[in-house]
Structure 1
Amino acid sequence: MEDKIREKAMEMFLNYGFKSVTMDDLAQAIGISKKTIYAVYQNKTELVEACVMSKFSIMKEGINKIISLKKNPIEEVFEIKQYVMSNLKNQKSSPQYQLTKYYPRIFAKFQKEQWDIMQHCVISNIERGMTLGLYRSDLHVQFIFRIYFAGINYLKDPIIFPSERFSMVFLMESYLEYHLRAIVSPEGLKKLNEIINSNHQ
């Protein structure tokens, strides 16, 4: 029952937002009493935290599997982007922005976890790309990682990028190309253009 509650809650949170969904809404959607939910989760904050950390854990596992394949670094970045987008495809609200506003403690915990996994995978990707000659040899790795991390988080800010003007698919694809074009070598640019052209066919 705990998994069922958490999975349905996460689906509703992504669709309608953490603030909008009430425990009554969730109970009605699952077809159980509110009392049953409170027997598992003491309050909504506890449920939100369980949902966020569970979703992040699943995505972290998927990203680590992609990294373990040791693919071409440029292809790896595109695969990770595709995986993340497929996991958030039903997202109609701005969950990260709402976490910041309504659940700052949970957001801080999530961002720390996000920082750790992104630091590992982005830095590893950059260093491997440099070694293989696909990325420029003069990159300041820590600077590139921090700029990338900051940019990814600002893409999700509805004030800067309102959803009615910018779809998340457009933002992620455009930002990824922007990031890669800034760091690839001439050889890497050939590979990047091949991938972009094949994706547009």
Structure 2
Amino acid sequence: MENKILDTAAEMFLNYGFKSVTMDDIANEIGISKKTIYVHYKNKSILVEKTVEYLFHKISAGIEEIRDQEKNPIEEILEIKRFLLYNLKEEKSSPEYQLEKYYPKVYKDVKQKQYCVMSECVVCNLERGLELGLYRKNINTEFISKIYFNSMMALKNKDLFPLNNFSMQMLMNNYLEYHLRGICTEKGLEILNRHQLTNQ
């Protein structure tokens, strides 16, 4: 039952926002009484915290599965983008903004965890790209990994990128092209250009 509650809560929070969804909404969606949820989570704050943890581990495991496939670094980063967009529902309700505003401690904790995972993932991707001659030899991997993380976080800023004007898919597509074209060698650009032609 706990997994069912977390699955449903995660789906609803991502679709409608952490503030907007009530315990009643989640109970109704599952078809159980609200009391059943309170048996496992004594209040909404705890449910939000556990749901965010659950989502973090689910996303991290999915990214690891993609990395284990040992695709070339350019295909790997584009595959991770597709995975994130699918699993985070393109963040159409701006759940991260609501999480930061209404559950700041949970937001701060998960952001730190995200940074650790993304930083390690990006540095490994950059190092493999360098080894394979797909990324330029003079890049600074630590600098680029920090810029990458903070730029990805900035994409979720609805003041900078209002949802009415920018979909998350469009933002991520444009940012990753910007990122890759800045670091790719001619060999890397050939792979990127081929990929874009086949995915138009």
Q: So what's the TM-score if we normalise by structure 2?
A: 0.96
- For 1:132 and 1:15, the matched residues in 2 are separated by 39
**Matched residue type, 2:141:** V
Name the residue aligned to 1:197: 197
Aligned to 2:11: 11
Q: Secondary structure at the match of 1:39?
A: helix
Match of 1:180 in 2: 180
Give deviations 1:108-159, integer Å, cap 9, x for gaps. Answer: 1111111111111100000110111110000011110011000101111111
Paired residue for 1:65? Answer: 65
Aligned ranges for residues 100-111 of structure 1 at < 5 Å? 100-111=100-111
Does the aligned pair in 1 maintain the 2:92–2:168 contact within 8 Å? Answer: no
CA contact (8 A) 2:15 2:89 kept: no
Q: Whole-Å Cα distance in 2 between the matches of residues 107 and 133 of structure 1?
A: 38
Aligned length: 200
Q: Which amino acid aligns with 2:156?
A: K
Which deviates further from its counterpart, 187-196 or 20-29? 20-29
Tell me the equivalent position of 1:54: 54
Which one-letter code corresponds to 1:167 in the other structure? Answer: S
Structure 1 residues 189, 90: CA separation in 2 closer, same or farther (over 3 Å shift)? closer
Residue of structure 1 equivalent to 2:96: 96
Q: CA RMSD in A?
A: 1.2
Which residue identity does 2:175 align to in structure 1?
Answer: Y
1:1-201 alignment runs, 5 A limit: 1-89=1-89, 91-200=91-200
Q: Deviations over 1:40-97 (max 9, x none)?
A: 1011011011111111111111111111122111111111111111112364311111
Percent of aligned pairs sharing the same letter? 52
Distance 1:89 1:18 in 2: 14
Check whether the contact 2:14–2:89 (CA below 8 A) recurs between aligned residues: no
Please say if residues 99 and 106 of structure 2, whose CA atoms lie closer than 8 Å, have aligned partners that are also in contact. yes
Change (3 A) 1:133 1:90: closer
SS in 2 for 1:164: coil
